[in-house]
A = this chain, B = another copy of it.
């Protein structure tokens, strides 16, 4: 239940007011130079220098890499007995990602049959089926078409599945729980141009999109969505797609579940009905509480997660100023609002949304927090521009069978105990 801030007691109060913010941060944050030990104070005013100011630096190279002190921040393979070299799920370190762009090297990735090593000179996009003129386009020709460059999130339908079905999830980090979501600027050719060129027949209502991987991953997509905002992505964050992201081309269907954005795309077949491929009738189905299967759940629902602080973290001090921050997104459009609670959902405060706030994109939010050192349960709740609001975990579970795990978008809670350790928590 939402109450005005003035009704909240002091210890559960959050505020974005400037004065509060600056006053709070000054408490115990930086050290006055006079309080430092003599050698540190000397260093502070430049009388002694670290080695790297007394020696020539190293050479730059053609592509570069992260600093050696940061090499431990990587994707992590999901801890799941089903994982093999061919079927693997890698989670992005979202606890370390403060922005809406995920570096290509850290983007989450799921593959059902490993990563094919495709020679772009031997790869073509075919459009056939219910069309006037079947076409086959090579990569060089595709490069000549007009392109768009939107920023979007991608999320696996199974992201946060552990929260849906597993009690052992209480001991997991945000990377392990919700690391199957990333953001990027994609560049590619709108499908409407290509479908118009092939000439879709009146009977054409669906398109079967197939990848050129060993498993021929395939999904049925309504034609209307492809003619709306879908495109053939060739670039991700200013360079060609990485192999594990679908090189040399993938389908990009903004806001829809990850596996529908078919990687290594080589074929679009226009049909009058869905194909019910193994990839859409099996793993990626949602089972309702009634036991019936929900037929197609393309959109990724509105969702948010606090990434700082989050599960398995240890706050560096017992009390004082912190910034609570995280990511929010919706497959339906823009994020309109994110609320944060530090008292298990009794009171909510509106977080700052950091621009750009874009449609079907990650959106960063933050709010200052003066922690009183007591045990707290912190939550975030996102609302999108169509009015969708994140459900509680209980509300989410009431919709689905107890063993259904896709499309989990319930409110994520973290418990901060009095020692500053942070743990996954169910409200």
Contact = CB atoms under 8 A, between A and B. Distances in A.
Contacts of A275: none
Interface string A15-58: 00000011001100111111010001001111000101111111
B146 A243 contact: no
28 contacts: A21-B146, A22-B197, A30-B194, A50-B212, A52-B212, A52-B214, A53-B212, A53-B214, A56-B86, A57-B113, A57-B115, A57-B213, A59-B115, A60-B75, A64-B75, A64-B244, A67-B241, A67-B248, A69-B247, A70-B239, A101-B101, A101-B184, A101-B237, A101-B238, A106-B239, A144-B323, A146-B368, A147-B325
Interface of A: 21-22, 25-26, 29-34, 36, 40, 43-46, 50, 52-70, 73-77, 85-86, 88, 90, 96-106, 109, 111, 113-120, 122-124, 126, 128, 133-137, 140-141, 144-151, 183-187, 193-194, 196-198, 212-214, 216, 235, 237-244, 247-248, 264, 267, 316, 321-323, 325, 354-356, 358, 364, 366, 368
A77 to B, nearest CB: 8
Number of copies: 2
Contact of A148 (B186, B248, B354): B354
Contacts of A187: 98-99
B213 A99 contact: no
Given A59-B88, A185-B99, A197-B22, A135 B75 contact: no
